[in-house]
Every structure is written in C-alpha cells, then in structure tokens.
Chains A and B, each alone.
Chain A
Amino acid sequence: MIEIIARYFTVDWQAVILAAVLCLSLAAGSLSTLVVSNRMSFFSDAIAHSTLSGVALGLLIGVDPIATMIAAGVVVALLIAAMRQRSGLSLDTLLGVALAGSLAVGVILYHRAQGYSDLHAYLFGRVTFLDTTDLAALAAAAGLSLVLVGLYSNPFALLAVSRPLAQARGIRPARYDFILIVLLGLVVSVCVRAVGLLLVNALMVVPAAASKNVARSYRGMFWGALCVSVTSCVAGLVLGDYFSVPPAPGIVVVAVLFFVASLLFRRGTALALDA
C-alpha cells in the first residue's frame, strides 16, 4: 500500500492524476453544500447527463469535445432555468424531461459519431487517463468554485433558509439561481471527464449529505463536506489502485460509506439523547 501511495508522489503521470483528483475533490466538495442546501442535486444530475450530447456533437462536427461538452452543460442548465421561470412547471418535471431527453439525444449522436466506442469512459469515468489538460481544467474549476463560494455563500445560505426572507433583504433569487446554474454547468461538465456522467452527481451530493447528518452549524457542514470530498477522492483513488478496481466507482463507494457512517452516528446521538 505504501508503495502505491509513494508512486503518486514520484511517478510523473500518477502525480498528475493525484493533483487532478485533488482539484476535482475541492471543486465538488466546496459546491456540495450549496447543491444540497439549495436543493439543486437533481439539477447537477441533469447537467451531467447533457454533457454526452456535447461530447458527441464535438466528435461529429470535428470540434474539441471538451469545449462542446462544457458548452452543452451550460446551455442545458440555462434552458432548464429559463423554462422553469417561464413555463411554471415544477423543477422535478423539467429535470426529468431534460435528463432523459439530453441523454437519449447524446446516445444517438454518439452512435453516429463513434459507434459506441469509448462510451464506457464517458459513462463511468477515466481517472487513470487524466492528463495535464484535464488537470488545468479541474484546477480552474476548483478555483472558480472556491472564489464563488467565497463571494456568494452567504446569500446562497439565506436563500436555502427562505427565499422570501432573502428577497426582503434585497437578494434577487433569479440572479443567484443563474450564478449557481452556470457554475454547476461548468464544474459538472469538467468533472464528468474524470468520474463519468453517471457518477459525477454523487460527488456533488454525497459529501454535503454526509456532513449535514452530523454538523451542528453551517460552517461545520461546509468544512465537513470538503473533508469528506477530499478524503473520498484520495482514498478511492489509492484503494482502487490497491484492489485493482476502477477509481471513479471506488471514490463514490468511499463517499457513500461516509454517508452511512454519518447516518449511524446521527442515529447513535439521537438514541443517546433520548436515553
């Protein structure tokens, strides 16, 4: 095990993977609290599924698929937000349609472009193939997430408690919805490259969900989510290597174990208080 860990610090391409995974964990972990407390988890899932259309479109028209993937994530996110405001339909209905629709279009386009080759990597991730380009994109996503959390986490927290109260204090919900949607569109699209579109949402949701179970303050929830995210990503990478299993599902399994442990801890605390 120590040998495996040491390789992530000595072998160049493995060091790149570790750095990329750390950036991924910071991006997802810092946004996780906003996603969970502002009830945006299905939203990030819909964005993740829409990225396949972007990748396929890029391959079809001969444009860098990373650029079209990010563009597709942001465009679908904005479309959902606009339809939510204008149609009066509930968000879960819109997301259900967007998620299934964008995935179906994506699979058709992908079939036309690639004949399903390499689809597996987009669905379940390709952590072990992350390169310096991915590292740069993930570092930018982490930086952007942390800056926006630093600038706007207070209004988002107030919106999470009550939109009418926030509005009374001059916070415009539509403006912050837009900021979070665009940010999620960008970050989720970048993270899909690493952990796959079927697993990326777990990284956006599980860290804060686990932290929420045990935290007693918003501050505790935020830092707890960040710790769960970083620990799950690094542990999932190393354990995946050790047990020869794919790292992306390994990362998600470790995060889910944190969630189960947090539930048991909460149940234990509640029983102790009742006794």
Chain B
Amino acid sequence: MTAPVLSVENVSVEIGGRALVEHVSFSLGPGEFAALIGPNGAGKTTLLKAILGQLPFRGSIRVNGRMGYVPQRLNFDRTLPMTVLEFLALTLQRRPVAFGIATRVRKSVSAMLERVGAGALLHKSLGGLSGGELQRVLLAAALGEGAQLLLLDEPAAGVDIEGEAAFNDLILHEVRAHGAAAILVSHDLSVVADISDRVLCLNRVLMCEGKAGDLLTAETIARVFGSGKAVYDHHRPVPHTHAHGPDHHHGH
C-alpha cells in the first residue's frame, strides 16, 4: 500500500482557550484531491495552518514530501520592490536574487508562469498585481516547486466573480497534471461537487468524509452548513450560484 502524503491523527487546535478544531483525523494518498468544506468559522483555515506548522496543535500531523500553499489572500507590503521573476526565483536558487538570476531559473520561472496563463507577468512588480494575477502567481509558485501536497485555501477568493470558475478549472487541470495530492478549502459547494475526489466536511469536528457525489446530499449539507443550502451548477444561470454558510459575508 502506498504511504499517505498527509496523515492527520486526532488533531485539535485551541486558541485563547477556545477549541477551533477538535479530534480531526484523515489521510490523503498521492494524487488525491480533497475538498475541505464547512461554514465560516468552522476551522478550515485553522486546520490548514496547523498542517503548515503555523499553529500549535495536539495530535499528530505527518507530511510526506514538500508542500505548496496558496493562501486565501496574501497580505504583504505592496511597496516592497520585487518583480514576479524575483519572487518565484527566491526558492529556486541559492544565489541571492539581489546578485542576479541564473538563466536556468529564469527559463523555469517563465515556464511556471506560462502554465497558469501568467507569462506576461514575469517582469511586473509583485505589489502592482491585481488580486487575480497575484493568485495565479501564487498558484505557479505552489505548483512549480515539485510539491507533493498542495494546500489551497479558497484560492479563487481574490479573483473576480467572472474569473472564479475559470480559475477553479485552471486549478483542477494543473493540479491533476502535476499529480500532487491537494486539499482545496472552499465554502462553495458547487466547486466541490465538480472537482474533488473526496470531501471532508468540517464544522469544528469532522462531520463527514467521503466521495463528493455520495456526500453532497441535501441532508449532509443541511447538517454541515445549516438548512436552506443547496448545490448549484456554476454554468447554469440560477439565482444563487453559491451555497453559503449562515454567517457568510461576501469578500471575506
């Protein structure tokens, strides 16, 4: 049997005396694409941060291989002068980017950007990118470094509504082509239904786990998100394309 890329065993995260995630266990095999769904405040980002080693936790998390991470939104000093080429080269060469970028790395970065349809951004300033452009660059960075596990925290959150479906398609296509295991955090059930092999429903505790088609029943959705939610096809013109949790706010 192949060893899992990610193994999460009985993980709990507590911040300021408040339990945000409790007794969560699951594992992810190579190439497996899982969606982590749940309403706002359910602990999705918290669980991801624990996996990334950014939050203290109880239990055990084992990652077999390198991780790539696309955050929901990257908050950084936009006045810091740094080109997209320099940003992507930072982890690809030992030589300081301030001392120049090797031709091999330059070619590799170009190819990484082309894959996500962002070839024109090579010499642009990182601080001057739009939300959608930045998410593409972050996706290129996550994919381009031989990661075996991709952690995608609502990666389409910074993309405008029109571009969101296309961006999710791009993620699906590229992650599949890359062959890495991935966890996609989403509150958008239609995305989950379309692209994932497995669904993990989190609302502080892991409420359900299984194949997307089997799990996304009206009953399960009501249990995780509260009643009155449903799954809609992104490409069909329906009044409410997104299924949201009870306390969801747009643009969070």
Contact = CB atoms under 8 A, between A and B. Distances in A.
Interface of A: 33, 37, 39, 149-150, 153-155, 157-158, 160-162, 164-165, 167-170, 212, 215-223
Interface residues of B, number: 35
A217 B96 contact: no
Contact of B90 (A149, A158, A217): A158
Given A164-B54, A170-B66, A218-B98, A157 B71 contact: no
A162 B151 CA distance: 16
B80 A161 contact: yes
B76 A161 contact: yes
A172 to B, nearest CB: 8
A205 to B, nearest CB: 15
Given A212-B79, A218-B97, A168 B90 contact: no
Nearest to A223: B98
B66 to A, nearest CB: 7
Contacts of A161: 74, 76-77, 80, 82, 87, 126
Nearest to A157: B90
B239 interface: no
Contact of B98 (A33, A39, A164, A165): A33
Interface in B54-108: 54, 66-69, 71, 74-77, 79-83, 86-87, 90-91, 93-94, 96-100
Contacts of A167: 52-54
A222 B77 contact: no
B91 A158 contact: yes
B80 A37 contact: yes
A149 B96 contact: yes
Interface SS, B side: loop
Nearest to B153: A164
B69 A164 contact: yes
B83 A216 contact: yes
Contacts of B141: 165
B125 interface: yes
B14 interface: no
Contact of A217 (B54, B74, B76, B81): B81
A222 B99 CA distance: 9
Contacts of A149: 96, 98
Nearest to A150: B96
A222 B74 CA distance: 23
A154 B93 contact: yes
Given A219-B98, A221-B81, A169 B74 contact: no
A162 B83 CA distance: 15
A39 to B, nearest CB: 8
